[in-house]
Amino acid sequence: MIKTTILRERKPRLKNPVMIEGLPGVGHVGKLVAEHMVEELGAKKVLEIYSPHFPPQVIVEDDGTIRLVKNEVYAYKSKGKHDLLILVGDHQSTSNEGHYELCGVFLDIAQEFNVKRIYALGGYGVGQLVETESVLGAANNIELVKELQGYGVEFRANEPGGGIVGASGLLLGLGALRGIDAACLMGVTSGYLVDPKSAQAVLKVLCKILEIEVDMQALEERASEMEKIVAKLREMEESKAPATSEEDLRYIG
């Protein structure tokens, strides 16, 4: 395989579809939200994407079978205004050039389904444990910024300072060049841990925007498990020098 390859499973007819991207990233926030939506909404798989820009790796499942790392698109036929195309996956591109190629493929798929708007989900790592829920936004046009402010999404001048890197960033940037409205919704998170609580915050905003309902219990359970881990880490932190405790946090989740 020397080219990115799409395997199609079904070709649904979708009504005013919106694309949701939740690939792995900071705190796995986007991935948690998108995979939770696929599961709770019972979305159907539309296609699989394999690429030499992913790591040369298979994942071993519980039953001893393997599957090649991939990205997938699921479709959800909604009772509301917008059907959904949900992009999830094991990995993002391992190379810079590959990010550009793969985002081109994602946008080709979006255009094939006549998608007019994309929400790229992610986390915004602030480097310390986060107490309050907040969702930071960025968008590829000013009208979309204003619309999202109405849903409580925060916009801060020049934040994130380093810009937005990877699939989420490029969907907005390359999307603009193709005339597709796209916004990034970033759950504020420490950046050290997988953060289902931050994922809940993003999902709440997204449900309001899309006028859909998604059961959050599974996400809440994972969040409260993680809370217990964090509580233990804090205890450990109090009996330690601050420099080392941060190190401890860095590899958990």
In the complex, minimum distance from the CB of residue 3 to its own copies, in angstroms, rounded to a whole number: 9
DSSP assignment of 24-38 equals S-GGGHHHHHHHHHH
Q: How far apart are CA 202 and CA 4, in angstroms?
A: 30
CA angle 25, 26, 27 (to 5 degrees): 110
Q: Which stretch binds its own copies (CB under 8 A): 23-31, 53-61, 201-209, 227-235?
A: 53-61
Contacts with 67 (C-beta within 8 Å, 6 or more apart), sequence order: 58, 59, 61
Alpha carbon distance 165, 117 (integer Å): 19
6 binds its own copies (CB under 8 A): no
Yes or no: say if 30 and 213 are a contact pair by the CB < 8 Å rule: no
Instruction: State yes or no: residue 159 binds its own copies (CB under 8 A).
Output: yes
- C-alpha 87/C-alpha 93 separation (Å) is 14
* 8 sits near its own copies (criterion: CB under 8 A): no
Query: What CA–CA distance (Å, rounded) separates 47 from 74?
Result: 7
Separation of alpha carbons 26 and 202, rounded Å: 13
- Copy the structure tokens of residue 77: 């036929």
| Among 15, 16, 44, 55, interactor with its own copies by CB under 8 A | 55
Q: Give the one residue of 16, 95, 224, 244 binding its own copies; rule: CB under 8 A.
A: 95
Element (H, E) at 143: helix 142-149
Q: Does 99 bind its own copies (CB under 8 A)?
A: yes
> Per CB under 8 A, does 188 bind its own copies?
no
Position among 110, 172, 219, 223 found at the interface with its own copies (CB under 8 A): 172
Q: How far apart are CA 178 and CA 111, in angstroms?
A: 9
Nearest distance from C-beta of residue 237 to its own copies, angstroms = 25
At its nearest, how many Å lie between its own copies and the CB of residue 181? 11
Residue 253 CB, nearest distance to its own copies (Å)?
Answer: 14
- To its own copies, the closest distance from the beta carbon of 158 in angstroms equals 6
Which of these, 83, 60, 61, lies nearest to 73 by C-alpha position? 83
Q: How far is the CB of 147 from its own copies (least distance, A)?
A: 11
With CB under 8 A as the contact rule, the residue among 9, 11, 44, 96 that binds its own copies is 96
* Residue 114 interacting with its own copies (CB under 8 A): no
Residues that bind its own copies (CB under 8 A): 1-2, 7, 50, 52-69, 93-97, 99-101, 103-104, 137-142, 145, 155-160, 162-167, 169-170, 172-174, 176-177, 184
